[in-house]
Amino acid sequence: MKFKDRLLNRSAAKRTRLILALDVIGPERSRISRAETILKDVKESVAGVKLNFHLLLPFGLNGVKRLITFCSREDIPLIADLKLNDISSTNKEVARQLIKHGIDAVIANPVTGLNDGLDELVQLSHAGELGLILLVYMSHKGAEEIYGTGQKGLYLFFAERAKEWNADGVIASAKSDSIIRKVRATIGKEIMIFSPGVGVQGGEARKPIEAGADFIIVGRSIINSSEPGVMAERYKAESYAK
């Protein structure tokens, strides 16, 4: 089943729109086992899990095998947050490695363009082999300096490309309802919106969903909590409330 269908099916079945950013830091010796403990605590609350450099850089895809196996057993879609930004041949090899190791989707930067850039990733996404999520508007404080530039906002140009290339999803900051609304109006109903920036970065859980996002991405507010399971349950409930 395609990444998008798996994610939406799980979201509906578990009644959650939470994507956990599994950004575990601290002593490397225990990082994987701590990540595994968190996954066990939150598994019923999450629609999907996002892996970032916190784990992928020190351990690589082979080193996170236990986590991938756990998610695969629990049918939790896994997203690699590489913000991939390279030429086609390199992107193709990255995608091959991700697919081989059981990753379901990748986050990429649309700034590369399609021709000899994202074309391989777009084809793999259309073939159902690896989901593709494009950065449209980031959530950090400096995002406006770049994503907000231009007469209509560079982010809407990226949103138009996401629509034209028929990506599986886009990233749009949880911190602005109006940006999410404009992105939704641009990409239509079929492309998923993932909203990071909830919690530590200041965004609320409910607002982006009401503005048209499909999922919130939450990391530190859950990972660094003394009770990740309780926090994840709270975000699950907030994200899915009618």
Find, among 184, 186, 208, the residue nearest to 197 by Cα. 208
Whole-number minimum distance, CB 199 to ligand XMP, in Å? Answer: 5
Structure tokens at 207: 């607002």
Distance (Å, rounded) from C-alpha 6 to C-alpha 103?
A: 13
83: annotated active-site residue: yes
Closer CB to ligand XMP, residue 138 or residue 232? 138
Does 47 engage in binding with ligand XMP (CB under 6 A)?
no
* φ, ψ of residue 79 in degrees (nearest 5): -110, 130
Which listed range, 87-95, 133-141, 176-184, 233-241, lies at the site for ligand XMP (CB under 6 A)? 133-141
Cβ–Cβ contacts within 10 Å for residue 80, how many?
27
- String of contacts with ligand XMP for each residue 186-225, x by CB under 6 A: ----------xx-xxx---------------xxxxx----
Binding-site size for ligand XMP (CB under 6 A) equals: 22
Nearest distance, CB of residue 128 and ligand XMP, angstroms: 22
Strand, helix or coil for residue 136: strand
Q: Is residue 21 near ligand XMP by the rule CB under 6 A? A: yes
Q: How far apart are CA 202 and CA 146, in angstroms?
A: 20
If one asks whether residue 139 binds ligand XMP (CB under 6 A), the answer comes out as yes
Q: What residue type is 138 in one-letter code?
A: M
C-alpha 216/C-alpha 209 separation (Å) is 8
**Interacting residue ranges for ligand XMP, rule: CB under 6 A:** 21, 23, 52, 81, 83, 107, 135, 138-140, 171, 173, 196-197, 199-201, 217-221
